[in-house]
Structure 1
Amino acid sequence: MLNKQQIKQTLKLGWPISLQNILVTLLSMIDVVMVSHLGDAAIGAVGLGNRVMFVVMVIVLGLSWGVGILAAQYHGAGQTNKIRLNIIIGSIYGLMALLPIIILNFFYADSILSLGTEDQNVIHLGQTYLWITMPSMVFVAVIQVLENALRSINQVKLPLLFSVFSILLNVVLNYWLINGGLGIEPMGVTGAAIATTASRLFQMVLMLLILKHIKHQLSVKRSDFSLLNNKADWLKLLKLVAPMMFGFGIWSLGSFCYQLIYGRMGINELAVISMLLPVEGIIISVFFGIASACSILVGQHLGAKKLTEAWNVAKTFSLISPVIAIIIGALLLLAKDIILLPYQGASLQSLELASQVFVVIALLSWMKVINMTLALGVLRAGGDNRFCLMTDAIAMWVVALPLTFLAAFYWELAFVYVVIISYSEEFIKAFMFGVRVKNKRWMNNLT
């Protein structure tokens, strides 16, 4: 089990990452709240557009998480120059992956959105939102690669600081551009999209300039580019991140399919899930920091060939995370009316549905927390990406999505029961991930 020093180190690593992810999640929640006075169509457009962006962002997260895993092991092995090299390679891979997506988005955004709703107003608003925000994924890729590299060397407060500045700018720009003022006409959903893209560009530029100004050890140097000729480094990172990007993509695409099902059930259901996904995201964000800290510590121990220490960290995190998540879920349930208060601009039918679904999310989110801890915090820290990919594919695509589709359109169950059935994915994954962690086949040194 972890000793007091390790627990202190875990909290030191975990809380800034958790806080940063809570702020980012709150920002997406604020986007929905700030357009809620424009009606269910605006809520649905931003929610559905964010879900499309979420698919792409999670693929980018797979890339950056892979860079972070390798960087943590290089840090444990004392090879800082390799971390800088992988920042460059990871950023190039991100650009290569995103350019085709950004181009296709301009031609097919409306077609993608029409899968989730038949409301032409929602499709039109969502298309404009995606045209403006999708290019910002390039900035997000660089940001996330840098953030995960910094976290891998135990520097977690610096990314938080950059994120806070970006979020504050986004909120200010949101309020100004959505509602108008100072010579600017109200822009509604378009204003929210411009604010998001501008704040992400600001965050990327700020990070690069500050790291260079303070001569940070991870600030890329000219001499680092001379090492790009080594094909082995390109292949090593590609071998690690390719299955992670594919696996994260499979999972995020499945998550988008859930929203397509909900959207096809009606505009009220689409509005409800757009309102409540950020609430669930807050719960997940709290434990994303813990999973990140777990991954960093496990990766550093594996890189230093300290297998016993790596196992003790993995075992402790796997036991305490779900317990804390259940407690947080209960507290959220008690605060339900307060949390739903900002959405009073939505229709009464949407608010009634939201109240029912909120209870489900509060009671069952601990399942997602334990799976995130086991997969991201433990298994992927040892490079066990193929097993995670297989588990995600089976639980989501073979079992949960077909059942959710049947519940919505064949059995025609009430919306709250459709949402409950979607959680069948989490029960299957918890069993498969738990068995895998216990057998210790994930304990690999990647350096």
Structure 2
Amino acid sequence: MFIARLAGIAVFDPVGDQVGRVRDVVVSLRLGRRMPRVLGLVVEVSPRRPVFLPITRVTVIEPDAVVFDGRLNIRRFRQHESETLVLAEMLDRTVRLRTDGDRVTVVDVAMEPTRTRDWVVAKVAVRPPRPARPRGLRRRGESRVVDWDEVEGFSIVEYGQGAAGLLAAFERMKAADLANVVHELPEKRRGEVAAALDDERLADVLEELPEDDRVEILGKLEVERAADVLEAMGPDDATDLLRDLPAEQRENLLLLMEPHEAAPLRRLLTYEDDTAGGLMTTDPVVLAPDTTVAEALANIRNPDLNPALAAQVYVCRPPVETPTGRYLGTVHFQRLLREPPPTLVSGIADTELEPLRPRERLQDVAMYLATYNLVAGPVVDEDGHLLGAVTIDDVLDNLLPANWRETVMEASALEGADPEEEALRRAADDERTGPTEDP
């Protein structure tokens, strides 16, 4: 069973209820050429909590499902020093073939059951590094599968390790879930994963990470790339990240950004972070009065649009860009669905709803959205120009405790250790280092 193929597949109890998804496989490397022993699976259960499922409790492993015996300790998984995570740490490593000394990159590893019903890592899928070396491989860049004892180098700390294989295993994962995976990685691997992600994907992940992780990752990027990633983030999230940086670093990044990308961030930085101006995004859906309902619906169908922003459009006199357009009203998407496609948005805009002012405090913004049952609201200055929109997700982000993301990622329902789990992992430690005698 190639382990990268297990990433993200559903985990079920004996009655068929899904309890989570596979995020990684835990193995214990052993001395010499002995095949690593598989200790268990890291399973992510709600809410985004990784837990350890011993391999002894797994009853079925199929291409689209893992079934276990129903016993699962939901104490948060903590990696022991003697343990290795296959997807997080073994994929993309550079190792050496014992037969000819060639250096190759690990694409995947495969585990298989033994006669004693244990599981071990028996095979390694490798490919030549780029540029490829032709000796011993049939074609440039072609991968092949070798036995575990044919490779060496897994126990050596590697700097500059790639992350393509890890990211391929989780390519369909939502940004919030990938952020949880990144948060759990060692600091070294976090930097390597950030380097491998494209700017858009990294921007999405940074928006979901705790403050300390975001600052750490951004600080390890080349400064030009850090500016590019900030440009790819939503203006409100990019501004929040900039506020966490030292003033000199913040200004350097703003200077490296495209002027039209940096301008809205500079405006947002002028407001306190717990005001409507500090909470708002400068990229709501803004339309001219002569826009039709059909055109409005086409705009909010954009899959890259935040769902809260897609819930309404704002009608302004040209130019229809913040902060220059004069605000006329709001049209909610439910109203758009009820009107004939040729109808002009100016004729159905809600002009009675009083917009927010940029200096209004967080509590007032929350009460405004709750009072009118809104998921977003327009922010307008004293001269009637639309500055942006505040969305419910940003309000909740600021109403929750400052460390709520860490709390979700660090949540643990049980503090006690599971005896069977600890016995299995201690036995693996003994196999790797040799048993120790009691004093």
Q: Which has the larger radius of gyration?
A: 2
TM-score, reference length from structure 1: 0.25
Instruction: Determine which structure has the larger helix proportion and give its number.
Output: 1
RCO comparison, higher one (Cα < 8 Å, 6+): 1
